[in-house]
Amino acid sequence: MLYAIISEDVDNSLEKRLAARPDHLTRVEALRDEGRLVLAGPHPAIDSENPGEAGFSGSLIVAEFGDLDSAQAWADADPYVIAGVYARVSVKPFKKVLP
């Protein structure tokens, strides 16, 4: 089943984000390589594709996991969680309807 991992950053997270980004991307790319990733990306803190120093306010990952516990465990082990980038992370079942 698909799960949405919805994360909200702490204030002024950009420096922590940049430091943990290579390890974070490695894990997300593994989901992609396994054919389990639907989409992933950050939420710019301002209305711009390149927010610069404004940074990001959170992230969204939609991917396939065996069950909610597996999705939650994957989210809990994210390098952004470990580095203190995220203030909150929600994991919810997701039903893709379109496209």
Q: What is the CATH number of the domain that holds 52?
A: 3.30.70.1060
Domains held by the chain: number: 1
Q: How many CB atoms lie within 10 A of CB 96?
A: 10
Q: Do 8 and 81 form a contact (C-beta atoms < 8 A)?
A: no
Range of the domain at 17: 2-94
Tens digits of pLDDT across the chain (99 residues) = 999 999 999 999 999 999 999 999 999 999 999 999 999 999 999 999 999 999 999 999 999 999 999 999 999 999 999 999 999 999 999 999 999
99 located within any domain: no
Encode 39-73: b = buried (16+ Cβ within 10 Å), e = exposed. ebebebbeeeeebeeebbbbbebbbbbeeeeebbe
pTM score above 0.75: yes
